[in-house]
Amino acid sequence: MLIVESYPIAVFMCFVTMLCWGSWANTQKLASKEWRFQLFYWDYAIGVLVLSLLFALTLGSFGSAGRPFFADLGQASGDAIWSALLGGIVFNLSNILLVAAIDIAGMAVAFPIGVGLALAIGVIVNYVKLPAGDPVILFVGVLGVVVAILLDAFAYRRLPSDKQTTAKGILISVAAGVLMGFFFRFVVASMATDFANPEPGRLTPYTAVFFFSVGLLLSNFVWNSIVMKKPFVGEPVPYRDYFTKGNARLHMVGILGGIIWNVGMSFSIIASGAAGPSISYGLGQGATMIAAFWGVFIWQEFKDAPQGTGRLLALMFVFYIVGLGLIVFAGT
């Protein structure tokens, strides 16, 4: 299977993760013009699983290093499988909340608050589990990201909108971020510490991502069903709408969103062997900056904001860039 041992290559892969994680929600923005986000999310979950299988049967099965995918499946312990599944279950709940927050508040708010908070929590949790990099530089970088989150929240509150809706968008983003900060550690706990010579019972990265994706799709029948029946905004969404209101283009947009996100997830997991889980996760979650860029400059989510909001957004980008730079530098 493909294994990355070079730190610079691992960092490059984390940048690809950042681009993927920061851009996949554009597919939701496109699809939500025609149907509810709950319906989009079924196709997203399918896309996540499809990509995990594609990588497992190619990158995870070729080459002499490590264990190939099917051999890894056959020797996997129940604890390792459950840990990866649990990662998918926890992530899916957090991501559905994030998607709901995007639907209410937009990408430029939901990502910096939700995913930015997940970055801060996830870096700390993963560092405690498996320390890698200079802790002082790493946590100063996390502090920079936290400041950026606060600046974004202040900017959002300046938008002319219903205060109850504004509060709901922020609260859902925070809930998504808290949950999202913990999912990665469950996936990492399922994997071998040495990808080239994996210990018995533990999973290689490609198998771990596969079980994570299975957990995501299966839990969708619980989490997404709940938000279909009890949505945060609007009327309940019946299952029949998925079949009667969808078309091939809408379904492909959702599947593409899942594929893009899971390219990022797979690269982050593969890179964690060389970069360390805290750095690979933290740098990947720099997706907040990418998503904020899409939301501010492409989707024009702050076009109605009062004068002075632009300065807050500019400072947000500065603190994110500085914070991410320190997170990368901490591992060198």
Q: What is the CA radius of gyration of the chain?
A: 19
Please, which pLDDT band fits residue 295 given cuts at 50, 70 and 90? confident
**Does 182 score more than 70 pLDDT?**
yes
**CA nearest 145: which of 329, 332, 328, 317?**
317
Please, which pLDDT band fits residue 17 given cuts at 50, 70 and 90? very high
pLDDT: which is higher, 307 or 285: 307
**Using one digit for the tens of pLDDT, what is the confidence trace for 117-138?**
887 888 788 788 778 778 899 8
The confidence score (pLDDT) of residue 236 equals: 97
The confidence score (pLDDT) of residue 324 equals: 79
**Does 90 score more than 80 pLDDT?**
yes
Per-residue pLDDT, averaged over 6-10, amounts to 91
Please, which pLDDT band fits residue 9 given cuts at 50, 70 and 90? very high
Residue 106: CB atoms within 10 A of its CB come to 24
Map residue 72 onto helix, strand or coil. helix
pLDDT: which is higher, 64 or 308: 308
Per-residue pLDDT, averaged over 289-308, amounts to 86
**Helical spans, DSSP H, in 4-130:** 7-23, 25-31, 37-57, 69-75, 78-105, 107-110, 116-129
**What are the residue ranges spanned by the domains of the chain?**
7-106+124-131+162-281
**Does 164 score more than 80 pLDDT?**
no
Contact 257, 27 (CB under 8 A): yes
State whether the Cα torsion 289-27-41-70 is positive or negative.
negative
Average pLDDT, the chain: 90
**Using one digit for the tens of pLDDT, what is the confidence trace for 20-43?**
998 999 999 899 889 999 999 999
Per-residue pLDDT, averaged over 245-265, amounts to 96
**Does 219 score more than 80 pLDDT?**
yes
pLDDT: which is higher, 206 or 148: 206
Per-residue pLDDT, averaged over 263-278, amounts to 89
The confidence score (pLDDT) of residue 108 equals: 80
- Provide the b/e sequence for 156-182 (b: ≥16 CB within 10 Å): bebbeeeeeebebbbebbbbbbebbbb
Map residue 126 onto helix, strand or coil. helix
Does the pTM of the predicted model rise above 0.85? Answer: yes
Task: For residue 49, give Cα distances in angstroms to 45, 87, 253, 329.
Answer: 7, 14, 15, 33
Please, which pLDDT band fits residue 208 given cuts at 50, 70 and 90? very high
Map residue 174 onto helix, strand or coil. helix
